[in-house]
Chains A and B, each alone.
Chain A
Amino acid sequence: MRRANHQTGIAPYDIASVADVGDLAVQPIDLMSALRQIEEGIAAICAQGARPLSVGGDHLTTLPVLRAISKALGKPLGLVQFDAHSDTNDSYFGDNPYTHGTPLRRAIEEGVLDPARIVQIGIRGSVYAADEHRWAKDQGIRIVYIEEFSERGPPEIMAEVHAIIGAGPAYVTFDIDSIDPSMAPGTGTPEIGGLTTREAQTMLRLLSGLNIVGADVVEVAPPFDLGGMTALAGATMMFELLCVMAEGVGQSVASA
């Protein structure tokens, strides 16, 4: 188990108090109750002055987490999203508004996210219509498709992320399907042509300096994994997120 980041030099456990508070006890049967349980669990963490770094779970779990943090801070959040999919669809299978393809749309409608401070990176998922991302773009979301990422590279993209997110509170959500399925096959909705694990690590390290109030790694689905490689990628991205979050904690203590 790594204690420090070999590239950035950050030793998260020396600058922040970090521990495992266990899993939220979410019942698997009733969707609306589950969303309430998740929000309450994260709200309890926020009320104690800690920032949550969670592991899902599918991407719908991010919605109640965002609700809880936004409520605790009393303002909408910015969002940096690494993902193959925009997750801004309206509904599925009729009029079902809550799925792992809709959390961003609900979060914007509910006012827990500020769409002008959202950047999505790695988007390439199958779309059902050519203008499927129009709603997202109309809200002001900056979508960086994988092709643009590939052409411009991490430093340039992340400089733009910093300009968009600014100094306000920001949440980081890392969907493991942002990574190419050759490196992370254990996920529910794989899409080829994705980030390498090394590119993802580089990108997460370049989050340094943002005011990160919470983060998650979602969509690791072990039943489809091979040799644990997706769980390894997920846990390692969690460590990278922990490093930039701990760095932020250290800086806020130093400036207090």
Chain B
Amino acid sequence: MTKTRHQPIDAALVPRFAGHSTFMRLPAVDSAAGLDIALVGIPWDGGTTNRAGARHGPARCATSPA
């Protein structure tokens, strides 16, 4: 099977602050079929014993201008 080499949205064409928020500005797909590496958020902090809030980590990392 030929695999698709997904590329991030080019920030020189669509500004970094515009468009949908995804990890690394890669396409959002429904399943990991055909992927070598699946980027996935796990927004859960139910095991936290001190300051909670890591449930918001995935969303904020996806909007970060890394």
Write the residues of chain A forming the contact surface with B, with a CB cutoff of 8 angstroms: 1-3, 12-14, 16-24, 26, 28-29, 31, 34, 38, 41-42, 44-45, 48-61, 65, 92-93, 98-101, 103, 186-189, 216-225, 228, 231-232, 234-236, 238-239, 242, 245-246, 249
**B39 closest partner in A (C-beta):** A20
**Shortest distance between the CB of A67 and any CB in chain B (Å):** 13
Instruction: Give residues 15-50 of B contacting A (CB, 8 Å).
Output: 16, 22-50
Say yes or no: A223 contacts B27, CB within 8 Å: no
Give min CB distance, B55 to chain A, whole Å: 7
What residues of A have a CB within 8 angstroms of the CB of B64 in the complex? 228, 231-232, 234-236
Measured CA separation A236–B52 after assembly (Å): 22
Question: A219 — which chain B residues lie within 8 A by C-beta?
Answer: 54, 57
Residue of A nearest to B48 (CB): A58
The answer to whether B37 touches A245 (Cβ under 8 A) is: yes
CB neighbours of B45 from chain A (8 A)? 56-58, 100, 188, 221
Q: Are B35 and A100 in contact (CB under 8 A)?
A: no
Q: Is the CB of A50 within 8 A of B57?
A: no
Given A221-B45, A228-B60, does the pair A242, B5 have CB atoms closer than 8 Å?
no
Flag if A236 contacts B58 (CB, 8 Å). no
How many chain B residues touch A (Cβ–Cβ < 8 Å)? 54
Our pick among B36, B46, B48, B66 for the contact of A249 (Cβ within 8 Å) is B36
With A38-B44, A44-B31, A234-B57 already in contact, the answer to whether A242 and B52 are too (CB < 8 A) is no
Q: Is the CB of A221 within 8 A of B51?
A: yes
Q: Is the CB of B54 within 8 A of A45?
A: no
Asked if residues A54 and B47 are in contact (CB atoms below 8 Å), the reply is no
Closest A-chain residue to B29, C-beta based? A19
CB contacts (< 8 Å) of A31 on chain B: these are 46-47
B60/A231 in contact, CB under 8 A: yes
